[in-house]
Each structure stands twice: as C-alpha cells, then as structure tokens.
Structure 1
Amino acid sequence: MESSFLTAVFLPLTLFIIMLGMGLGLKISDFKRIVVAPKAAILGLIAQLVMLPIMGFVLASIFPLTPELAVGVMILSACPGGATSNLMTYIARGDVALSIFLTAISSLITIFTIPLVVNFSMQVFVGEASALQLPFLTTVTQIAVITLIPVSLGMLLNHYAPRFAASVEKSVKWLSLGFLGLIIAIILYQERANIVGFFVQVGGVTLTLNVITMALGFVIAALGKLNRSATKALTIEVGIQNGTLAIAVASAPIFLNNPTMAIPPAIYSLIMDVTGFAFALWCQGQVGTLNLTPTLPGDGTPEKVAMQRSSNSDDK
C-alpha cells in the first residue's frame, strides 16, 4: 500500500467509520447537557489551548533538542484533540459527547492559534518567523467530513432506527479499531529503518509530554470536581493530540515543508496510542468496582446519575 493512498483514502475512511460509531451511541440531549453545564468543556478548552502549548514550550526548552525538533514539539502542542481521542474516550466509557465537542471546537480555534504558536516557536528556537496560514475552508471541510457528518449520520440512525443502531454499534467499533491498528502497523513497517533513531532523538520529550498532559487533564478535572466520565474524557482529550494535523503542518509543502519537524508528532502518535489505549482498557476493567457510567458534565447529583444510568444502560 502506497503512503499516498494510506493518507489520502484509507486514513480518512477509517476516521469516518470511527466517528460514525461514536454517533450511533449519541443523542442530541448529550450535547444539550454540555451547553447547560459547560464547566467541563471550558476547563478542557483552557487545558488544550493554553496550558498544553505552555507545557510544550517548557519541555522543548529543557530537553536537548535541535531547533527544528523543538519547533516540532511546539507544533504538536498546538494541535490538540483528534478523532483518536474520541475513540479512546468511547472505549474508556467516558463522556463521548464532551470529547467530540472539545475536538470540534478546539480544531476550529486552532485554525487561528496554530500560526501564532508556530511563529512564536520559530522566532525563539530558529530565529526567524514563518508566514504560516491554514486554509480555513479546507480545514473546516475536513473537520466536517471526518467528524461532524459521520457523527450526525450515526445520531440520525440512533434516533430513527435505535434497534438497528444498537445492533451494529459494537461491530462498527471493533471494525474501526481493526482499521486503526492496520494503519499503525503500516506506518511502523514503512518507517522501520528510522524508528529507533527517531525514538532516540525525541522519545524522552514526547513521552514526558504525553504523561504530563494526561495527568494535567486528570488534575484539572479533579480540581473542577467533575464526574468520572468527564474526568476520563478530559484526561484523554488533553493527553491525546492530533498527530495527523501536526505532521501535515510540519511536512506538507503548503505549510512548513520540513520533515524533521514532523518527527516529534510522529513519535508522539505512537506513544499516545499505547498510553491512551492502556488507560482506556484500565477504565473498562474498573467497571465492576467503580461507577464509570457517563453522567452530566459537572453534574454528579444522585438524581441525575440515576436518570443518566437509565438512559445509558448499555454503559453499565
């Protein structure tokens, strides 16, 4: 399989299937709750758009990186969220609606924040500015095709054909997992000659960034006294970055056209898949001992928890 086919066709198709599976288990009321109780969403956006770039800058300054690799870390820090975080939140039985909301909103906002972060890091680490602009309509269209459209389609099926949606939801989830695993395997095979060298260069800083940001999401949720499902969503959403977008910004000819800057997001993507899935599977293993049923963001009263349990019986 050629790399162009992988990135142009197979990866978008996989993400579409993933998001369709998310929508099959969602209702419009799930998103209304975020508007009614926005504390979790606000905390998540602050962590993703403000604290994450700050943490990336601190680590890029501390670790012995070349200027280009340091900029690569900053590009990664400026690209939060992504469909992978939604999938992992789904597996962890967290607040999927909150995760998708954070992914969609942060992706739109980063159209404007990525150029600011990248230009700042270029000035600090390389000594020159970069006139970086993301194509607005193209980016919004990609977000809609990969995220909003399949999720909406899944929600429509859930609304008008709930029995069918419930019967195929698990199959779609495992199908998407299989496709995602195949993509990772192909990437590893294509870069097998460079993987060790890449890990030597940026393995330490990317692993540290991943662990710290996941801990950051958890701590922020705990300080905000969010319920368990929202806490899991923030832990994953803050620690799982949009590696695909970061690689594109670093290496695509229409952006920075610098493959070296794409090394940190590439290695980070491999690391976050391991840590993210490990956390999600650990959460699943706690179902018998902990109350992991998704509840309203910021609302953990017994009455609301009971109501949410009755409407999400498949998540017990």
Structure 2
Amino acid sequence: MPHTLPIQPELLIRGLTLVSLGGLLLATGLRLEVAAVVAAIRSCRWSVVLPLNFIAVPLLACALARAFALPPEYAAGMLLLAAAPFAPVVPVFVKMARGDLALAAGLTAIFPLFAIFLTPLAFDAGFAALGGAATLRFSYLNLLTVLSCSVSMPLLAGMVLRFGLPGLASRLLRPLDVLAETAGAVSLAFVTWVESGTLLATGWKPLMAFILAGELSFCLGYVAGGPGSQGRRVIAFGTANRNIALAILIAVESFAGTQVAAVVVANGLALILLGLLHAVYYRRLAERGRLPVAVGRKRLP
C-alpha cells in the first residue's frame, strides 16, 4: 500500500537532511580549532588518502556494480556513497575503537571542504563510466550548488562564530548536536518508511555488493593509513563509512522519483552495521591489551 503524505516526501526528506547535515557541520565548525586542523594536515598522508577516497573507492564501487550486474539506480546509489567519504559518525566509531580521536575529528572536519569539489568529479566520472546518463539524469552544477550550500556555508559559519563569539559558540554546541542528530535519525527513519517496498525488495546481489564495498574500503583504508595502529583505524573507518546524509540529499536533489535514495539508505545501513562491528572488535582487542596504546607522542606495544 503506498504511503500518502500532505506534502511531497522528497521535500520533507530534503528539509530534514539539510537540517541534519547543516547542523552537524555547523557544530563541527564551532568545535574546530586551528591547532587540530594543523595537526590533522601534518599527520595525514594526503597524497595517499585523497586518491584513496575520491578515486580508489569510487572505482571499487563501479567495479562491484559491474561485477554484480546491478541496475543503474542501484549502481548510482552505491557510487553516491562511494564519492562521499568521512561520515560525521567516524569520530564516534574511532572513539569506540580506541583510535586517534583528535585525528578523526580533524579529518572529519576537513574532508567536507574537499568533498565540495572532488565529490562531484568522482561521481560524474563514475556515473559516466557506468553509462548512467542513458537512464538517469544527473546535474553536475546542481550537485556543486547543493554541496556548497549544505557543507561549506555551515562549516565556515561555525568557524567564524567560534572565532568572533566563543561564548555563544560554546552555548550553542549541545542544542545543535541534539537538533542535528534528531533530524538525521528522523530523516533516515522517514526515508526507510517511504522506501520500505524498495528496501524489502533488495536482493542478495546488491546486499553482497554493499557489504563487499564496505569491507574492501575498510581494508584499503587500514593498509594506506600509515605506520601507526591508531592512525590506521582512523583512515580505515573514514574510508569505509561514507556520508549517508550527503548522499541522500544529492539523491533527492538529482534523482527525484527514482529508487536511488532507497539504495543509498540500504547501503548506508549496511555500512553502519559494519562500522559498529569493526568498532566493537577493536574495542575488545584494546580491552585485552592487544592494541598499541598512545602515551603522549610515544606508542607502547
């Protein structure tokens, strides 16, 4: 039985997702310190991490979509997530996994700035490689506009507010966190409800492709994460856990009336589950003393 609402579902999804994504990034800007950004920039292997997230992972999604012969809408949903790295939930998973939380917070704050320009390029290239233009309509300019308004403006506004009015910025943090997290949860639940038919009809092939993409991305991130165990966990979680809110927003803006948003949700839920499993695994290893523990700048075996 189809769901009926007094307003178009796409408008409600768009509004909730904008509130969630904008609120999370505004809160990130309010927390952002120059020292944390500088430390993240200095410690990150950008020559490896950027190509990994904006070239290797989208290529992996394209390869899996072709290998499993996924329909265009499923392939587009996978590719959207693959082109949107470092979800806001990454610091949460890294904290659970006893990774380098400062690095995770710094990279999660910085990556949206790269996403403004590199996400459209990665998705456009992958979308063309999959031959999606014949069945779905995609607007590069529209995507760039959405990213600029929903990513760069809230992040920069938060940074400016922290610099100019630190007291107000501190008082706004908790309400913003609650608002953004609530809107994100409601948005995800609403999309799941609206697209329940598509989600339930997802077969084993798309699910297997989603899981393989998440696991292989995690392994790629861990291998490329550098010599330190804690830093490797940060890159692994950031590479495997993509920005679901951003991908949903792009899907609703560029592919309204298709199943792309439902595919993003199904894939995103699989990534969240995998992220939780990885976090629990590393947390238990740490509790048993089988992971390195950072002490200042030194690491104990």
Distance 2:76 2:116 in 1: 20
Letter in 1 for 2:22: F
Q: Are 1:210 and 2:226 an aligned pair?
A: no
Distance 1:249 1:24 in 2: 25
Count of paired positions: 286
Pair 1:170–1:87, CA change in 2 (3 A): farther
Displacement of 1:151: 5.2
Q: Are 1:233 and 2:241 an aligned pair?
A: no
Q: Which moved more, 1:193-202 or 1:79-88?
A: 79-88
Distance 1:218 1:204 in 2: 21
Distance 2:43 2:179 in 1: 33
Pair 1:55–1:191, CA change in 2 (3 A): same
Q: Partner of 2:107 in structure 1? A: 98
Pair 1:249–1:120, CA change in 2 (3 A): farther
Match of 1:29 among 32, 35, 43: 35
Calculate the TM-score normalised by the size of structure 1. 0.71
Displacement of 1:238: 0.9
Q: Partner of 1:15 in structure 2? A: 21
Structural mapping, 1:20-169, within 5 Å:
20-23=26-29, 25-39=31-45, 41-85=46-90, 88-89=93-94, 94=101, 95=103, 96-122=105-131, 132-135=139-142, 136-150=144-158, 153=161, 155-156=162-163, 160-161=166-167, 165=170
Distance 2:166 2:250 in 1: 40
Q: Equivalent pairs: percent with the same residue?
A: 15
Contact kept? 1:75, 1:117, Cα under 8 Å: no
Letter in 2 for 1:194: T
For structure 1, list consecutive stretches of 5 or more residues without a partner in the other structure: 294-301, 307-316
Contact kept? 1:206, 1:268, Cα under 8 Å: yes
Q: Which moved more, 1:272-281 or 1:236-245?
A: 272-281
Letter in 2 for 1:113: A
Letter in 2 for 1:34: A
Q: Partner of 1:298 in structure 2? A: none
Specify the SS of the correspondent of 1:225.
coil
Distance 1:204 1:137 in 2: 33
Pair 1:256–1:214, CA change in 2 (3 A): same
Contact kept? 1:45, 1:102, Cα under 8 Å: no
Contact kept? 2:13, 2:187, Cα under 8 Å: no
Q: Partner of 1:309 in structure 2? A: none
Greater RCO structure (CA 8 Å; 6+ sep): 2
Q: Are 1:183 and 2:176 an aligned pair?
A: no
Letter in 1 for 2:190: I
Distance 1:4 1:261 in 2: 12
Calculate the TM-score normalised by the size of structure 2. 0.74
Distance 1:152 1:279 in 2: 36
